[in-house]
Chains A and B, each alone.
Chain A
Amino acid sequence: MPRFEGLRRFFRLDRAADVERAVGDELDFHFDSRVRELVERGMSPAEARQEAERRFGDLERTRARLEAIDRERVGERSRAEWWGGFTQDLRYALRGLRLKPGFTLGVVLTLALGIGANATMFGIVDRLLLRGPAYMNDPARVHRVNLIRTLQGEERPGTNTSYRTYLDLLGSTTSFDNLAAFFLPKLPVGTGEEAREMTLEVVTGNFWQLYDARPVIGRFFGPDEDQLPTGTPVAVLSYGYWHSRYGAHSDVLGQRMRIGTRDFTIIGVAPRGFNGAGLEQPIAFLPLTAGAVEMGGPPDLGTTYSWRWLEIFARRKPGVSVAAATADLTQAYLRSYASQAEQQSGLTPAGITHPHALAAPVLRDRGPRQGDDSKVATWLIGVAAIVLIIACANVGNLLLARAFGRRREIAVRLALGISRGRLLTQLLTESLLLAAVGGALGVVVAQWGGNVLRAMLLPDMEWTGALADPRVLLFAALATLVAGLLTGLAPALHAGRSDVAAALKTGVREGTYHRSFTRTALLVIQGALSVVLLVGAGLFVRSLHNVKTMPLGYDRTRVLYVNLDMRGESLSTAEQALLRDRLLERARSTPGVEHAARNMTVPFWMTMNQPLFVAGIDSMSRLGSFDLQAVSPGYFETMGTRILRGRPITPEDRAGAHVMVVSQSMARVTWPGKEALGQCVKVGADTMPCNTVVGIAEDIHAASLKDDPGLTYYLAMAQWRPHRGGLFVRARGDATQLVETVRSQLQGLMPGASYVTVTPLTEVLEPEMRSFELGAMMFTIFGVLALVVAAIGLYSVVAYSVAQRTHELGVRVALGAQTPDLIGLVVGEALRLAAIAAAIGTVGALVAGRWVAPLLFNTSPKDPWILGGVALGLLGIAAAASLAPALRAARVDPNVALRAD
């Protein structure tokens, strides 16, 4: 019971009752004494009582006043007492930490890394998955419209659709009070030398109604400025661009800025932090129809289904459920799909694709199209939490070791009358102080780590550092508090248990070597968690390696893509074709260039599809999606794509018979078991002339690294659209070295304001690698961090146990134990712990592997090499960490050890 009493006193549950009792006792005493005196003087007890009350005055009012006065005093005193105790604890803790700078530094750094890692990952996941777009009005009611079709037996959610589909949905849904569309194109902004490609956001006139944003100056545009066919050329600047480009001057209103081919009039500035639909802040917002013109949209924008680009936000009316909204969208989409089928004869029928819609959460990564990088980031927050747990376990362990070392000090203090409650708060103060310093440093880590991660993971994301983000700061504070309590837990429990008499009686030698179960358990947990993280690191590193070395059917490191932006320069088709021929010639004669060829599409950036017709096959689209590529002679050498049979496209494929090269998979799918060479394929319509298959090329991955290679066919550029497309340039060595040379060589040929951009294919593929790079990097960092922390923990435990066992070891030496015996004794103990940790960790990794498997690339989560390697690694680290203490044990001099104490 005394401990319970202490707890009650600690939380001051009985303060009010105490006060009432004390006042009551005092008044009772007064009345009893007075009555006794009056009775002695001869009054009857009843009279005496009455007289006493008369003299006293209003008893109940006085009682209430006394209680009020006392309550205030008791409250004030206990606050003062608490504060005094707290400052004393703080001073005491500070002094203790100053005396052991090495220990303090180690603990603070461990916690800083743990808390920093968590704050970093929280900042990213918060952006991707938790926080709605800035300024959005009731984001829970706003949905990102997903249009889902089934292709080749697989549901393909898509958010990008045509303006026509948007108009269809707008016209025939009833569940929404707003349906707005947007897109973020990169467009040339400025004139002459100043012209740059920048990110803009084109939005429908009703887009602003989704937000509670008010323009800083000027106004937003409305639906009347967003009308077909070409919209009104007005622009609303983003806050950031207004500052960086215009110095936040209010006279920007009415100024013009060149975007694409037209001058746009600036009519307003969006508020600070307003990013529109996404995470990225564009430089300006344009009416959708006006922006579509500058993006090179089709003239029949309002009617054609073939240009799929924009995304749609829909806000449910109040009272409409998400399911009802989804059903409404699906009905509208089905009608729209039927109308699309009338326009596009080759469209796969609705009976096969089962088109339906989904009112998904407004954040892309919460919907069905969650990016792999966001999934990895979600995993990483779990990983970061594990790192923090390991850090806490380690710090708890160190504090516990200190508590063992301070057994006698603590016992003395207890004997001198310090209450266990005070002792407990003292120990907690120490761990909380350590955590607070670690947390402050952790925020700095998060600020730095966030910048690094952002550069890797979300290069376009609008970002405020951890130091300026109140949500991240709050999270860091919470993590700090949890870390402080967790680390203080073990030593506090230990101190609560300690037996004064026993601790005071024992000497340094006897009885102090208890193998602490808590310490051992903490150590094993650390080791096991390190194993889990390192296995994760191994899996992602292997995935990254597999992705990087995976054969794509073309060379990624040696090829540059040259894109032409005509920027309103109107050239005839003949001039366009001529320009491209001259560019090709110039590229080929540039030093360092091995080959160059023209192309129509770019892997992972754009695909082109045309209805195909083959005799004897009802519907080619049932067989799959066929990607069109149009190429000039030399294309296959340029890309490094092998021709397996037949021949490539040659200079002779011009005027004569139309030809086609098909990929191996396309040949197999279209003509199973038959000879593909010589077959006839009609492109675009049944009435077109035959394209005779003249060659079979190896498969290429152009849309997805994970799925099977796509079905690709190649037409001769000269026979398809000789006036369109860009160039691929093959370098003799590393293509990235050649970017600027090629650009300046080719730019010289470009007329007027038109220009070329040159991009290495590695950069095109970069987003596909990102999730693996992120996983590999972060798991490795966290895993190594965890291992180092665990190794330090192991070292300290073993070193401590050797120091405590000096006497025992001395006895062993005296009895004839040899150096190898002693080393084996110490190292063996460490290895046993490591083996247990490795076993537990391996099981944990196998369990967790089931969920992480979809994020890996051609890598089994049960990879025995990785699992075995990590387990062996842990044993090796354990041996290394225990070697130094083991050698110290071997040097124990029995004469000294046995005489000590």
Chain B
Amino acid sequence: MAENLELMQGTLDLIVLKALVWGPRHGYAVARWVGETTDEDLQIEEGALYTALHRMETRGWLEAEWGLSEHNRKAKFYQLTPVGRRQLRASTARWTRYAQAVFKVIQTA
């Protein structure tokens, strides 16, 4: 396994927003998706994911609603708001630009 990468706050938010782009998900689903997608390369504590979810709910990027899980349990589902969607687009663009710039620097070496 590759060495763990440090994660910046904005990046965590971006990842969580991305996890919700296909529709409402509860916190566990978000955690699983993040773990699977990154092959556990980004060592993210799941507690931090929940903190990000709740913080973004407060900011109005996400909307939460209680519903039933696939196993018929009460679960809290998160969903992007229009503001959250805009935020996701803006963060993605910024991250891409940033990564490309850094990549260019590394390539020229």
In contact, B51 and A62 (Cβ under 8 angstroms): yes
In contact, B54 and A25 (Cβ under 8 angstroms): no
* Chain B hits for A55, CB < 8 A: 31, 45-46
In contact, B45 and A56 (Cβ under 8 angstroms): yes
* Chain B hits for A76, CB < 8 A: 58
| Alpha-carbon separation in the docked complex, A790 to B30 (Å) | 70
Q: Can you list, as one digit per residue, whether each of A25-60 has a CB less than 8 Å from chain B (1) or not (0)?
A: 111011011101100000000000000000111110
The residue from B27, B28, B47, B74 contacting A58, defined by CB atoms under 8 A apart: B47
Quote the shortest CB–CB distance from B72 to chain A (angstroms).
12
The residue from A22, A25, A27, A33 contacting B50, defined by CB atoms under 8 A apart: A27
Quote the shortest CB–CB distance from A71 to chain B (angstroms).
10
| Alpha-carbon separation in the docked complex, A37 to B28 (Å) | 11
* Chain A hits for B50, CB < 8 A: 26-27, 30, 62, 66
Quote the shortest CB–CB distance from A16 to chain B (angstroms).
16
* Chain A hits for B54, CB < 8 A: 65-66, 69-70, 73
* Chain A hits for B26, CB < 8 A: 26, 29
Q: Can you list, as one digit per residue, whether each of B75-87 has a CB less than 8 Å from chain A (1) or not (0)?
A: 1100000000000
In contact, B76 and A57 (Cβ under 8 angstroms): no
In contact, B69 and A29 (Cβ under 8 angstroms): yes
In contact, A57 and B74 (Cβ under 8 angstroms): no
In contact, A30 and B31 (Cβ under 8 angstroms): yes
| Alpha-carbon separation in the docked complex, A770 to B27 (Å) | 81
Nearest B-chain residue to A31, judged by Cβ: B28
In contact, A32 and B51 (Cβ under 8 angstroms): no
Quote the shortest CB–CB distance from A827 to chain B (angstroms).
64
Quote the shortest CB–CB distance from A322 to chain B (angstroms).
61
| Alpha-carbon separation in the docked complex, A65 to B45 (Å) | 14
* Chain B hits for A14, CB < 8 A: none
Q: How many residues of A contact B (CB 8 A)?
A: 25
Quote the shortest CB–CB distance from B50 to chain A (angstroms).
6
Quote the shortest CB–CB distance from A21 to chain B (angstroms).
11
Number of A-B contacts (CB under 8 A): 65
The residue from A29, A59, A72 contacting B58, defined by CB atoms under 8 A apart: A72
| Alpha-carbon separation in the docked complex, A247 to B23 (Å) | 79
* Chain B hits for A26, CB < 8 A: 26-27, 50, 75-76
In contact, A29 and B47 (Cβ under 8 angstroms): no
Interface residue ranges of B43-95 to A (CB < 8 Å):
45-48, 50-51, 54-55, 57-58, 69, 71, 73-76
Interface of B is mostly: helix
Q: A65-B51, A73-B58 are in contact. Are A30 and B46 (CB under 8 A)?
A: yes
| Alpha-carbon separation in the docked complex, A55 to B58 (Å) | 25
In contact, B28 and A29 (Cβ under 8 angstroms): yes
| Alpha-carbon separation in the docked complex, A30 to B27 (Å) | 7
Q: A29-B28, A29-B74, A30-B27 are in contact. Are A57 and B48 (CB under 8 A)?
A: yes
The residue from B47, B55, B75, B76 contacting A56, defined by CB atoms under 8 A apart: B47
* Chain A hits for B69, CB < 8 A: 29, 33
In contact, A57 and B58 (Cβ under 8 angstroms): no
| Alpha-carbon separation in the docked complex, A76 to B71 (Å) | 34
The residue from A33, A62, A73 contacting B57, defined by CB atoms under 8 A apart: A73
Nearest A-chain residue to B35, judged by Cβ: A55
Q: A29-B26, A29-B28, A30-B27 are in contact. Are A57 and B75 (CB under 8 A)?
A: no
* Chain B hits for A34, CB < 8 A: 28, 31
Q: Most chain-A Cβ atoms within 10 A of its Cβ — which of B46, B51, B76? A: B46
| Alpha-carbon separation in the docked complex, A30 to B57 (Å) | 18
Task: Answer yes or no: A61 CB below 8 A from chain B CBs.
Answer: yes
| Alpha-carbon separation in the docked complex, A561 to B76 (Å) | 95
Q: A30-B27, A69-B51 are in contact. Are A57 and B46 (CB under 8 A)?
A: yes
| Alpha-carbon separation in the docked complex, A61 to B50 (Å) | 12
| Alpha-carbon separation in the docked complex, A76 to B45 (Å) | 28
| Alpha-carbon separation in the docked complex, A211 to B32 (Å) | 77
| Alpha-carbon separation in the docked complex, A58 to B46 (Å) | 10
Interface residue ranges of A51-97 to B (CB < 8 Å):
55-59, 61-62, 65-66, 69-70, 72-73, 76
Apart from A29-B73, A55-B46, what 18 extra A-B contacts exist at CB < 8 Å?
A22-B76, A25-B74, A25-B76, A26-B50, A26-B75, A27-B50, A30-B27, A30-B46, A33-B69, A33-B71, A56-B46, A57-B48, A58-B47, A59-B47, A66-B50, A66-B54, A69-B58, A72-B58
Using a CB–CB distance below 8 Å, which chain B residues touch chain A? 26-28, 31-32, 45-48, 50-51, 54-55, 57-58, 69, 71, 73-76
> Sorted from nearest, which 4 A-B pairs have the closest CB atoms?
A57-B45, A62-B47, A57-B47, A73-B58
A sample of 21 cross-chain residue pairs with beta-carbon separation below 8 angstroms, ordered by A number, consists of A26-B50, A29-B27, A29-B69, A29-B73, A29-B75, A30-B27, A30-B28, A33-B69, A34-B31, A37-B32, A55-B46, A57-B46, A57-B48, A59-B47, A61-B47, A62-B47, A62-B50, A65-B54, A66-B50, A69-B54, A69-B58
